[in-house]
A and B are shown apart, each in its own frame.
Chain A
Amino acid sequence: MKIEDPKAVKWTLIGITAAFLAVMLVLPLTYVLFTAFRSGLEGFVAAVTDKYALHAVYLTVIVTLMAVAVNVVFGLYTAWALTKFSFRGKKLLSTIIDLPLTVSPIIAGLIFVLTFGRQSVLYPYLSDLHIKIIFAVPGIVLATVFVTFPFISREIIPVLNAQGKDEEEAAALMGAGAFRIFRQITFPHIKWAFMYGVVLCTARAMGEFGAVSVLSGHLRGKTNTMPLYIEILYQGYDFTGAFAVSSLLVVMAILILIARNVLEHRSKAQYLKNRRKA
């Protein structure tokens, strides 16, 4: 058998990938589900309908929605600013946006503890206003926003860069205002990349552990998101509970993956449709 034989290469590569995924993903996931149902369906239902478990799900959804909402606005603005204008410090800004991807989430958490915690200069003002950030929901939202903020802008920036400024300039010359230009010219172009960014951002926000862990204070029924709650259960040797809640998180992640694939498929279909017409 020659190594150049494309069929052999193809099946070898597929085989390696499949084996890798089996060991790294399928096996653990199966084990999660297996453990979750080890004490029967009742045990699973009891674990996921537990008061604290439900609150963790609720908090995760709320935090995710808020973080995604903030990052949608932030991501669009940044991408717009970085691609449509030239200004001093543009490169620096562009680099800083990527910081959450490179810095450890623990450090992200600590940054906020230092900024808003007891030792911070801001603390007296915040406590005067009865605003509690550390060990409270706002802190968790902040941490999640920080960790997920590159996702949306990073998806949009390449698309905007490839598009150039001509169409926007043309629209501006015809008297269009900034909002109309965005709505009618820019957004149709970045729609799919934007939605893809939202999906990635959502997935990351749901699963964030490190930064949230530092800021949350692990208060059951108050500041525990799903990943934190799972950890607590696990540390308490409640394997059924931990894996039951884990399986919920996995199902949510799978739903997001499906959403992602649907989006990808659609954008491809739209692209092909336009091409075919041309």
Chain B
Amino acid sequence: MTQNSASKDQKESGQTPQGSRQIRELDQANDASLPGGRTTQPEADAAGSENTYVELRHVSKSFGDFKASDDVSFTVEKGKLAGLLGPSGSGKTTILRILAGLETADSGDILIDGKVVNDIPASKRGIGFVFQSYALFRYMTVFDNIAFGLAIKKTDRKIIAEKVNHLIELVGLAGLGGRYPTQLSGGQRQRVAFARALATEPHLLLLDEPFAAIDAKVRKELRGWLKELIQRVGITSIFVTHDQDEAIEVADQIIITNRGHVERSGSPLEIYNNPQSSFVTQFVGQPTVIENPGRFKGFRRLGDKGGKAVLRPEFISVTKIGEPLKYVITAEDAVVEESYFRGGDFELRVRVNDQLLTVNRPITQEPIRVGEQVKIFISSLYLLDGDKAVTVMNESLSNRSSIYEI
């Protein structure tokens, strides 16, 4: 069985139980880096898995002529934090709103905890929702905002006060309960929105671009905070983002959407190391699309038939002339055209065979100047083949002669 057909099966069957998951992650990581590695993932039928908490089955939704969701199917396990990742307009938010009951699917089933919830109104689904705009009630104090859901459930006043104060403390806003939303910073509002969504102790938390409206520095801090808090509360959560760093850093599982359908679902490591589809390959990481990959040394066996491939900076190493070189035969000559200091390393733009490539060099190594002649070595690339993407190793690393045996 080839890697591609295996991945297709996996995509359709959704998630495997948690236990085998860890192992599979490692397997897949190995698959991507080892030449000739076969996919040995266990083909568990996840649709019936005990751990599945949220499931979408062939959900479609159109707004006029626009297909916002096109046969969307995926599953999320109980207690996991899943990220819906995709470019803007790819239908992520629609999926979230359908799950919450704020939009009605044209066809397909939505299952939460094993029950079809298609006909259950939003107010009865018991879902916590954090809006992109936070949607805090602007005429209510922080306390009243968080207490709102509890007051509806006719909870005893004392218990409400206790719970709300506990939540205010939990999200680090102690002493700010009497403030109005307009008197809070963006990060603080986000925390209130989060506390409010958690107040009624929902079993599912949905977050729409939770960090989009926050400046970069606070965002980074809030991400870690959110992940930790969600793990502590142990609530199944799905968040929408267009920022892959955010998804990779925060999520246990990433669901990649493109033009209304799900391209791929899996752990961040799986998706990063084994993107499988052409779209995902060109979306995650820091991809450079190159034409005619057969012209690069080490990939001659791809022939001169043209085609496209994707390179990432981590696939390329750069060495100064005179530095020891492991694979001399398959190293290319290159000229450094640009150099950017990125803190931990330099990001270099090098020209090889008329192709500009991006490569990183740690600052601990001897610096390379702009205009300098260097050697680069491409360890692997993703060959794009229609909708698919296949890993191709450099000949020096692979003892096989044909890619089709990978």
Chain B residue with minimal CB distance to A163? Answer: B138
0/1 interface trace, chain A 154-197, chain B, CB 8 Å (1 if under): 00000000001011011111111100100011001100000000
Determine whether A91 belongs to the interface, using a CB cutoff of 8 Å to chain B.
no
Chain B interface helix/strand/loop/mixed:
loop
Q: Within 8 Å CB of A164, what residues of B?
A: 133
Q: Confirm or deny: A277 has a beta carbon within 8 angstroms of a beta carbon on chain B.
A: yes
Tell me the complex Cα distance, A44–B138, Å.
52
Q: A154 CB to closest chain B CB, in angstroms?
A: 23
Contact B183 A171 (CB under 8 A): no
Does A278 count as interface, using CB distance less than 8 angstroms? yes
B182–A274 contact, CB under 8 A? yes
B residues in contact with A130, CB < 8 Å: none
Main secondary structure of the interface of A (DSSP, over half): helix
B98 to chain A, nearest CB (A): 13
Is the beta-carbon distance between A275 and B182 smaller than 8 angstroms? yes
B100, B125, B129, B179: most-surrounded residue (chain A CB, <10 A): B129
Are B102 and A176 within 8 A (Cβ)? no
B131 with A166: CB separation less than 8 A:
yes
CB-based nearest A residue for B125: A173
Q: B208: nearest residue on chain A (CB-CB)? A: A166
B385-405: contact bitstring with A at CB < 8 Å (1 yes, 0 no)? 000000000000000000000
Contact yes or no, B135 A166, CB < 8 A: yes
- Identify which of residues 99-113 in chain B touch chain A, using a CB-to-CB cut-off of 8 Å: 100-102
C-alpha gap A170/B133 in the complex (Å): 11
> What is the 8 Å Cβ interface bit string for chain A, positions 263-278, against chain B (1 contact, 0 not)?
0000000000011011
Report the Cα distance A174→B124, complex, angstroms: 8
- Which residues of A183-213 have CB atoms within 8 Å of chain B's CB atoms? 184-185, 188-189
Q: Report which of B129, B139, B179, B182 forms a contact with A188, defined as CB distance below 8 A.
A: B139
Tell me which residues across on chain B come within 8 A of A277, comparing CB atoms. Answer: 179-180, 182-183
Query: Whole-angstrom distance from the CB of B134 to the nearest CB of chain A?
Result: 8
The reply to whether the CB of B152 lies closer than 8 angstroms to some CB of chain A is yes
Q: Which B residues are CB-close (under 8 A) to A177?
A: 123
Instruction: Report B14-73 residues with CB < 8 Å from chain A CB.
Output: none
A176 pairs with B123, CB closer than 8 A = yes
Interface size on B, residues (CB 8 A): 29
| A174 to B122 alpha-carbon distance, docked (Å) | 8
Number of interface residues of A (CB under 8 A): 21
Contact of B153 with A by CB under 8 A: yes
Q: How far is the CA of A175 from the CA of B183 in the complex (A)?
A: 27
In the bound complex, what is the Cα–Cα distance between A31 and B129 (angstroms)?
A: 64
- Is the pair B148, A174 in contact by a Cβ cutoff of 8 Å? yes
Q: Is the CB of A174 within 8 A of B180?
A: no
Q: Which B residues are CB-close (under 8 A) to A172?
A: 122-123
Q: Which residues of A contact B124 (CB under 8 A)?
A: 175
Known contacts A167-B137, A189-B138; is-contact A173 B123 (Cβ 8 Å) = yes
Given the contacts A184-B137, A185-B137, A189-B138, A173 and B182 also touching, CB distance less than 8 Å:
no
A176 touches B152 (CB 8 A): yes
Complex Cα distance, B149 from A172, in Å, reads: 9
Q: Are B182 and A169 in contact (CB under 8 A)?
A: no
Determine whether the beta carbon of A166 is less than 8 Å from that of B133. Answer: yes
Q: B101, B129, B135 — which one has the most chain A CB atoms within 10 A of its CB?
A: B135
Nearest chain A residue, comparing its CB with the CB of B100:
A173
Q: B123 near A170 (CB under 8 angstroms)?
A: no
B127 at the binding interface (Cβ < 8 Å): yes
Smallest beta-carbon distance A241→chain B, Å: 50
Instruction: Determine the chain A residues whose CB is within 8 A of the CB of B133 once the complex forms.
Output: 164, 166
Among residues of A, the one whose C-beta sits closest to the C-beta of B199 is A174
With an 8 A cutoff between CB atoms, is B200 at the interface? yes
* Closest beta carbon of chain B to A237's beta carbon, Å: 57
Chain A residue contacts of B100, Cβ below 8 A: 173
Interface string of B121-156 (1 = CB under 8 A from A): 011111111010101111110000000110011000
Q: How far is the CB of A278 from chain B (nearest CB, A)?
A: 4
- What residues on B are CB-neighbors of A169 within 8 Å? 102, 122, 129, 131, 135
Tell me the chain B residues, 337-396 only, with Cβ under 8 Å from chain A: none
B270 nearest CB across to chain A (Å): 32
Decide: B123 and A167 in contact? CB cutoff 8 A: no
Question: Which B162-186 residues have a C-beta within 8 angstroms of A?
Answer: 179-180, 182-183
> Mind listing 30 A-B residue pairs with CB under 8 Å?
A164-B133, A166-B131, A166-B133, A167-B136, A167-B137, A167-B138, A169-B102, A169-B122, A169-B135, A170-B135, A170-B136, A170-B137, A170-B196, A171-B137, A171-B148, A172-B123, A173-B123, A173-B127, A174-B152, A174-B200, A175-B126, A175-B153, A176-B123, A185-B139, A189-B138, A274-B180, A275-B182, A278-B180, A278-B182, A278-B183
16 new A-B contacts at CB < 8 Å, known A166-B131, A174-B196 = A167-B137, A169-B129, A169-B135, A170-B129, A170-B135, A171-B137, A173-B122, A173-B129, A175-B200, A176-B152, A180-B152, A184-B148, A185-B139, A274-B182, A277-B180, A278-B182
Residues of chain B touching chain A, judged by Cβ–Cβ distance below 8 Å, are 100-102, 122-129, 131, 133, 135-140, 148-149, 152-153, 179-180, 182-183, 196, 200
Closest 7 CB pairs of A and B: A166-B135, A174-B149, A188-B139, A170-B135, A278-B182, A175-B123, A175-B152
